[in-house]
A and B are shown apart, each in its own frame.
Chain A
């Protein structure tokens, strides 16, 4: 499985955009980039995913570089409820390899 590298922790001021980077330099052509987050004591929550194009939904935007070796998750207007551990995961789409393999993630703290 392609591995990802994320900063251990980040702070962001409330109301600002939070930009979370992720490196996945060994990503393969059939692997998607997924982002999940885990708020304390809860199950992981899906945020967004993409293959090579930038994606946006009601929660966040995902920017993937043209060479697909890195990506950035953007929370446009961070709130205190966005404090969580954010996981960047690469996931294959072929049968038998679809599992999500979690790393250690980035602990994002939103500061009032």
Chain B
């Protein structure tokens, strides 16, 4: 079975540009999570969805970040405008349902903002 698929795997962009990260969860999973990992802050949850509805977005840093899940098989995380401090690895993860089931992670999108 295909795992969580993220794109792009690597992106280098200039400060001020819009960045869109994409995620395809595992088929049949109805919870989706976006995490960010930096050396300073480790792995931190940005937002998660259940049945395409945002449940907890308390980790979203500021208004420059937005996430959408228009359907069960696709989600985006957008940064506009991007800043150098947004440089990080962004992970998408999914699980079958929210009650104690395993969360599976993608391989991440490595973002560098210069």
Contacts and interface: CB of A to CB of B under 8 A. Distances in A.
Interface of A: 32, 42-46, 49, 87, 91, 93, 95-96, 98-104
Majority secondary structure of chain B interface residues (helix, strand, loop or mixed): strand
B12 interface: no
A102 B42 contact: yes
Contacts of B91: 43-44
A99 B105 CA distance: 13
Interface residues of B, number: 25
A99 B103 CA distance: 9
Nearest to A99: B45
Nearest to A30: B100
10 residue pairs, one from A and one from B, having the closest CB atoms: A43-B105, A102-B43, A93-B100, A98-B98, A44-B105, A46-B102, A43-B107, A99-B45, A43-B91, A43-B108
Contact of B100 (A43, A45, A98): A98
Given A42-B108, A45-B105, 4 more contacts: A43-B107, A44-B91, A46-B104, A93-B99
Nearest to A51: B100
B14 interface: no
Interface in B33-81: 33, 35, 42-45, 48, 50, 55-56
